[in-house]
Amino acid sequence: MNVVAVAIVAWVFIGLDAGLRDAFALGDTNIAPSFVIAFVTFVAMYAAPPAALWAALLIGLATDLVFQVPGLDGGRALTVVGPRLIAAVVGAWLVLTLRGLVIRRNPLTLGFLAGLVSLVWCSALAGLFALRHAVSSDTGLIPSRLLVEGLASSLYTATVAALLALVLMPLATFLGFSTGPQGRLGRR
């Protein structure tokens, strides 16, 4: 894996999430695709396992730092490190366990796996914030709402990821991934 190339593309995808996510939102809801989830899934599909997990951890950390969480009762917005980082690692782990069973060169595969990762991601976020609320309720988030919106966003993310595959797959060589034929259970 070309670490510099992956970092640059990750930077672009975080920028896409920060700038474009709202434009794709359905009505006044927070149901919108996540470009970062699609990229984490793509990296986990092609990179070696430790590299994929480290990449997920660092991308998750970056998104945790970039996107703030609203404070309780309209209070100060918070920088909370951990939820997306953990969600990204769990999502990458899921892809690593499934990638041997799928046809990676099919663009729909990225859509399918990104949808699954998004489901896990959103469930993890909802669960983690429910846990945090039990410890200290200092954020203005409602875990049940996060879960519902997240589940709906997963379908959306899957659709967008399938389209993004058409852009990402040609970039695989630039990112230092091998797209050669794969064998059983992920052995290439």
**49 to 68, contacts with other proteins by CB under 8 A?**
49-51, 53-54, 57, 61-63, 65-68
Residue 75 binds other proteins (CB under 8 A): yes
Residue 30 binds other proteins (CB under 8 A): yes
| DSSP 3-state of 177 | coil
| Distance in angstroms (rounded) separating the CA atoms of residues 104 and 51 | 18
Q: Which region among 11-19, 105-113, 164-172 touches other proteins (by CB under 8 A)?
A: 11-19
User: 71 - beta bridge partners?
Assistant: 139
Tokens 């034929």 -> residue: 181
Task: Give the number of residues in contact with other proteins, rule: CB under 8 A.
Answer: 82
**139 to 168, contacts with other proteins by CB under 8 A?**
139-141, 146, 150, 153
Q: Identify whether the C-beta of residue 60 lies closer than 8 Å to the C-beta of residue 88.
A: yes
| Distance in angstroms (rounded) separating the CA atoms of residues 151 and 1 | 31
Residue 11 binds other proteins (CB under 8 A): yes
Q: Which region among 6-14, 105-113, 164-172 touches other proteins (by CB under 8 A)?
A: 6-14
Interacting residue with other proteins among 40, 43, 80, 161 (CB under 8 A) = 80
Smallest distance from other proteins to CB 28, Å = 5
Interacting residue with other proteins among 111, 124, 132, 160 (CB under 8 A) = 132
| Distance in angstroms (rounded) separating the CA atoms of residues 186 and 188 | 6
Within a 10 A sphere around the Cβ of 151, how many other Cβ atoms?
Answer: 15
Supply 127's token pair.
Answer: 């669960």
Residue 83 binds other proteins (CB under 8 A): yes
**33 to 52, contacts with other proteins by CB under 8 A?**
34, 47-51
Interacting residue with other proteins among 4, 97, 105, 166 (CB under 8 A) = 97
User: What secondary structure, in 3-state letters, does 80-93 show?
Assistant: CCCHHHHHHHHHHH
Q: Which region among 16-24, 108-116, 158-166, 167-175 touches other proteins (by CB under 8 A)?
A: 16-24
Q: Identify whether the C-beta of residue 107 lies closer than 8 Å to the C-beta of residue 45.
A: no
Interacting residue with other proteins among 5, 93, 148, 163 (CB under 8 A) = 93
Q: Identify whether the C-beta of residue 13 lies closer than 8 Å to the C-beta of residue 38.
A: yes
